[in-house]
Amino acid sequence: NAGVTQTPKFQVLKTGQSMTLQCAQDMNHEYMSWYRQDPGMGLRLIHYSVGAGITDQGEVPNGYNVSRSTTEDFPLRLLSAAPSQTSVYFCASADARWAQYFGPGTRLLVL
């Protein structure tokens, strides 16, 4: 199993640009989520999904959209990038015991 994969690994955007961060898992997990981690801080939940077609907001959802059309994929869309969205983004999926498995992260720099 590849586990949780994320692309790209690193991205530079200009303010106002949009982009999609990709996340995929091959463990058939129903629950998936997105977190962001700012320098020196813990992770904060952006959005989560309990299954295909079902998404909900986390702690810091503003400026981000998600959709879940398949069990495997959970993309995160930045609608109009802002410097405050410079961060490291982690995707995760959870197994039936609620152990969560995180991807390697996407480092985003917004200029």
Partner 1 sequence: DAKTTQPNSMESNEEEPVHLPCNHSTISGTDYIHWYRQLPSQGPEYVIHGLTSNVNNRMASLAIAEDRKSSTLILHRATLRDAAVYYCIPTNAGGTSYGKLTFGQGTILTVHP
Is residue 45 within the footprint of partner 1 (CB under 8 A)?
A: yes
Is residue 2 within the footprint of partner 1 (CB under 8 A)?
A: no
For 1-111, list the strands marked E by DSSP: 4-7, 10-13, 19-25, 31-37, 43-51, 54-57, 64-66, 76-78, 87-94, 100-102, 106-110
Backbone CA torsion sign across 21, 39, 81, 63:
positive
Q: Of the candidates 44, 60, 71, 75, which one interacts with partner 1 according to CB under 8 A?
A: 44
Stretch that binds partner 1, among 15-23, 27-35, 61-69, 72-80 (CB under 8 A): 27-35
Is residue 98 within the footprint of partner 1 (CB under 8 A)?
A: yes
Binding footprint of partner 1 on the chain (CB under 8 A): 4, 31, 33, 35, 42-45, 48, 50, 58, 90, 92, 94, 97-105
